[in-house]
């Protein structure tokens, strides 16, 4: 069957067609061929109703307890008024005493079919909101939230008015407010470079003696590069070109200041001379929406320059920053070097942007990685390491992961993404809902709440979730006629004023001027998205492996730490059973197996614990003993190789993720690092954190602890006809990691076989024939 690709034409009817092809119709035709049962319409409707109820709870709480304040404090059940609450630093720069949450939510009301509430909210906005307050605000936040909110609401009000049933009284008042706000933001662009100041006083501008701003010299790349959609829309709706001209000039400066060798940009730039202040480059915080707006400016405005710039940057991102499924910051001048080993949650928007470009494979990979992080921590931490450890524990109810989930579902029709969306809904209700709205999570590790509910939660989260579970005929307008801003406000693609000839698809870069087509992306394989995901479905972290390229020259390779266990495959649990007094077999810990090393279900052998990602300095002491190893810092196989070479005869790994346990977390099989594991012959098992804590606690309290490692059916005291291997160790003691001050050694004794009869209290264990070193 021939593949049909839709061209990316520039102009209002073509752009609308492009969005339809891209986000809805082009790929949904093969949804029925997806593996797994599709979600029934009744279930989708039930979840959609649940999302509406959640929105009503959040919006209703804001209107009841906070309005006309900018934001709701959901734990205090009152509004956050700037100057009356303790200063939170830069976070408060989004608050301008202009009923921020109300304006940010206006077009969400229309999407959720709350037209009476929308009309009432517009009247409130016109009656109550002032834009001339003596307040210093963020130019970036005010642009995307307030100016974008006013323009999105005007677009919806104008659409309803033209239909002749609602908003007949409306006379473009929201557009007039948007124009007023645009004029109040324009003084920020009075710099020698054209890059805007990061802050402006709504009443006094920037350089006025009363403005209390204008001394800043730096701004983030996203702050300067995320103006074009709102400012261009304002220009084209109002007929005043000054807004679009200033926003475009700022983009021109950023483009000219890119590093020509790598085509990357830095994170922070000097607004006066254009010098880079921070040269780390990524797709997350500080840069994210700059790339987004280059792509969407092409879609909205039809200017080919934006697409060419985006594609140049995108090739650089995929060459240097993308290390599937990770997106790691690099130095813009030396992009082969990662500058940090953690990622921030704002990069979760990027798979959605990749869908817009038609590059679905890396979008699926990164989204699946992010989903696995949410499974471990309930929400995306504000920052997390390549091993999925929490770097910054906050979660301010960010919507970027839901955004990418929506785009991937619209691009693939795969019901898997409906299940991902369902999990978002359930976790919000279970872990963020409070009596007066929804509260941000202060730390995903503890679940503690923070007294904030940012306006973007209502502007974006509920919009994307509702659309995810809605069919086109359930909406009151054609969503494909609009493009989302970075705050999910709706701007009409009919704003495009140019329509150059459409380029064909016979280009070297298939996706440069074309929408994605399933026939091209997934030829003869409608389940291709699933085949991509399956490689990352049980991703638990990413470590570093060192591969020798030439003698003495090593290349760092990021290696995914996955279970490689399919959903249908059941993992047979192993056990670690404490049998010495006072436990006498009553303490049994569930352990997961490894796909390499000795098979405990078939042979007899022994083990113990240790952490081993660096050189093992006490190899002589370790030889012939079991090691206790904390998970993390390097791959399981690397640890096993290192410990086996040092002479260990077994390893018990303990999860480093605090609170993990076998009751709530599915068991998985440890796998290798991509290299050969055939030479690993010692037995290996894995304990989650809580089970590991029981073992280490026992070691702290009792100098001699006998341990059995064996299949479940061979549990001491349980008689079966099956035979299998087991491992017994004696004298377990907790030690500190090698090289730490205060490190001590202790012996473990491994028995080659079980005693003929079960031990009873007071009996002496059989004399051991091996000793082990244990280290934690």
Q: What confidence tens digit (pLDDT) does each residue in 452-509 have?
A: 999 999 999 999 999 999 998 899 899 999 999 999 999 999 998 644 333 433 334 4
* Predicted pLDDT of residue 772: 34
Q: Is 134 a catalytic residue?
A: no
Q: In 3D, which of 108, 580, 59, 533 has the Cα closest to residue 324?
A: 533
pLDDT average, residue stretch 110-131: 98
Domains of the chain: 37-214+455-493 (1.50.10.10), 574-773 (3.50.30.30)
Encode pLDDT of 220-236 as tens digits.
Answer: 999 999 999 999 999 99
Judged against a pLDDT cut of 70, whether residue 219 lies above it is answered with: yes
Tell which wins on pLDDT, 126 or 341. Answer: 126
* 3-class state of residue 153 by DSSP: helix
Tell me the percentage of the chain whose pLDDT exceeds 70.
Answer: 71
Asked if residue 191 belongs to a known ligand binding site, the reply is no
Measured CA distances, 487 to 2, 149, 719, 762 (Å): 38, 8, 62, 69
Q: How many CA atoms lie within 13 A of 602 on its CB side?
A: 6
* Predicted pLDDT of residue 268: 97
Distance CA 195, CA 450 (A): 34
Greatest mean pLDDT range, 513-517, 581-585, 737-741: 581-585
* Predicted pLDDT of residue 571: 61
Provide the sign of the torsion angle of the four alpha carbons 670, 673, 675, 681, taken in this order. Answer: negative
DSSP 310-345: HHHHHHHIIIIIEETTEE--EETTEEEEES-SEEEG
Q: Is 141 a catalytic residue?
A: yes
- Write down how long the chain is: 776
Structure letter (DSSP) for residue 188 = G
Q: How many CA atoms lie within 13 A of 6 on its CB side?
A: 24
Distance CA 130, CA 99 (A): 9
Q: How many CA atoms lie within 13 A of 635 on its CB side?
A: 26
Q: One of 141, 280, 303, 403 is an active-site residue; which one?
A: 141
Q: One of 400, 460, 561, 691 is an active-site residue; which one?
A: 400
Q: Is 85 a catalytic residue?
A: no
* 3-class state of residue 356 by DSSP: helix
Q: Are 8 and 310 in contact (CB under 8 A)?
A: no
Q: Is 117 a catalytic residue?
A: no
| Reported pTM | 0.69
Distance CA 513, CA 6 (A): 9
Residue 529's H or E segment, with its range, is: helix 528-534
Q: Helix/strand/coil (H, E, C) string of 548-581?
A: EEECCEEEEEEEEEECCCCCCCCCCCEEEEECCC
Encode pLDDT of 18-59 as tens digits.
Answer: 333 333 333 333 333 333 468 999 999 999 999 999 999 999
Encode pLDDT of 636-671 as tens digits.
Answer: 888 888 888 888 877 888 887 777 777 777 676 776
Beta bridge partners, 73, equal: 78
Tell which wins on pLDDT, 97 or 760. Answer: 97
Q: Are 254 and 275 in contact (CB under 8 A)?
A: no
Judged against a pLDDT cut of 70, whether residue 598 lies above it is answered with: no
Distance CA 380, CA 387 (A): 13
Encode pLDDT of 674-692 as tens digits.
Answer: 566 788 888 888 888 888 8
Judged against a pLDDT cut of 70, whether residue 620 lies above it is answered with: yes
Give the confidence band of 420 by pLDDT, cuts at 50, 70, 90.
Answer: very high
């Amino acid at each position: 069957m021939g593949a049909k690709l839709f061209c990316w034409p520039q102009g209002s009817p073509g752009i609308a067609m492009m969005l339809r092809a891209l986000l809805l119709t082009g790929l949904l035709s093969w949804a029925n061929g997806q593996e797994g049962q599709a979600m029934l319409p009744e279930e989708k409707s039930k979840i959609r109703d649940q999302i509406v109820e959640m929105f009503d709870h959040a919006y209703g709480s804001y209107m009841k307890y906070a309005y006309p304040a900018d934001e709701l404090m959901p734990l205090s059940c009152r509004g956050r008024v700037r100057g009356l609450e303790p200063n939170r630093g830069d976070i408060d720069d989004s608050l301008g005493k202009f009923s921020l949450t109300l304006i940010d939510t206006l077009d969400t009301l229309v999407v959720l079919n709350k037209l009476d509430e929308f009309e009432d909210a517009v009247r409130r906005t016109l009656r109550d909101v002032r834009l001339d307050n003596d307040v210093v605000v963020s130019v970036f936040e005010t642009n995307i939230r307030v100016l974008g909110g006013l323009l999105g609401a005007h677009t919806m009000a104008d659409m309803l008015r033209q239909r002749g049933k609602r908003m007949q009284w409306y006379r473009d008042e929201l557009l007039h407010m948007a124009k007023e706000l645009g004029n109040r933001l324009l003084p920020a662009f009075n710099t020698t470079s054209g890059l805007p100041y990061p802050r402006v006083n709504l009443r006094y501008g920037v350089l006025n003696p009363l403005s209390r701003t204008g001394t800043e010299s730096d701004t983030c790349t996203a702050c300067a590069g995320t103006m074009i959609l709102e400012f261009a829309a304002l220009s084209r709706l109002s007929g005043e070109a000054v807004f679009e001209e200033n926003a475009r000039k700022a983009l021109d400066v950023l483009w000219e200041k890119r590093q020509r060798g790598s085509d990357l940009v830095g994170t922070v730039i000097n607004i006066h001379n254009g010098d880079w202040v921070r040269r780390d480059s990524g797709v997350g915080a500080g840069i994210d929406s700059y790339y987004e707006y280059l792509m969407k400016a092409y879609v909205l405005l039809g200017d080919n320059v934006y697409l060419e710039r985006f594609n140049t940057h995108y090739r650089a991102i995929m060459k240097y920053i993308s290390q599937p499924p990770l997106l790691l910051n690099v130095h813009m001048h030396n992009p082969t070097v990662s500058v940090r080993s953690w990622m921030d949650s704002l990069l979760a928007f990027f798979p959605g942007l990749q869908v817009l470009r038609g590059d679905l494979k890396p979008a699926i990979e990164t989204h699946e990685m992010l989903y696995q992080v949410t499974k471990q921590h309930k929400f995306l931490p504000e920052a997390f390491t390549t091993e999925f450890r929490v770097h910054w524990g906050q979660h301010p109810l960010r919507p970027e992961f839901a955004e990418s989930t929506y785009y991937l579902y619209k691009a693939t029709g795969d019901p898997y993404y409906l299940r991902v969306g369902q999990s978002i809904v359930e976790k919000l209700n279970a872990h963020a809902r409070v009596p007066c709205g929804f509260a941000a999570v202060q730390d995903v590790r503890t679940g503690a709440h923070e007294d904030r509910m940012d306006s973007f939660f209502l502007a974006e989260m509920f919009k994307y979730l509702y659309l995810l579970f809605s069919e086109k005929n359930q909406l009151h307008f054609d969503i494909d006629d609009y493009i989302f801003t970075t705050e999910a406000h709706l701007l009409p693609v009919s704003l495009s004023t140019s329509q150059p000839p459409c380029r064909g698809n016979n280009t070297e870069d298939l996706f440069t001027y074309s929408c994605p087509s399933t026939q091209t992306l997934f030829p003869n394989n409608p389940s291709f998205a699933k085949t991509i995901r399956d490689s990352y479905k049980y991703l638990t972290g990413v470590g570093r492996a060192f591969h020798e390229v030439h003698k003495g020259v090593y290349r760092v390779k990021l290696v995914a730490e996955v279970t490689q266990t399919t959903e249908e495959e059941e993992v047979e649990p192993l056990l670690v059973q404490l049998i010495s007094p006072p436990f006498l077999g009553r303490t049994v810990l569930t352990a997961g197996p490894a796909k390499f090393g000795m098979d405990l279900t078939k042979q007899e052998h022994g083990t113990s614990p240790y952490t081993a990602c660096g050189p093992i300095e006490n190899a002589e002491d370790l030889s012939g003993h079991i090691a206790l190893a904390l998970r993390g810092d390097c791959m399981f196989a690397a640890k096993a190789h290192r410990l086996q070479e040092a002479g260990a005869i077994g390893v018990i790994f303990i999860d480093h993720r605090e609170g993990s346990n076998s009751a709530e977390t599915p068991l998985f099989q440890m796998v290798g690092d991509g290299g050969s594991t055939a030479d690993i012959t010692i037995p290996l098992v894995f304990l989650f954190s809580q089970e590991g804590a029981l073992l280490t606690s026992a070691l702290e309290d009792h100098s001699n602890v006998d341990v059995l490692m064996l299949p479940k059916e061979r549990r001491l005291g349980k008689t079966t006809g099956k035979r299998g291997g087991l491992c017994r160790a004696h004298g377990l003691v907790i030690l500190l990691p090698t090289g730490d001050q205060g490190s001590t050694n202790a012996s473990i004794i491994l028995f080659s076989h079980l005693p003929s009869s079960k031990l009873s209290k007071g009996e002496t264990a059989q004399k051991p024939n091996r000793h082990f070193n244990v280290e934690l």
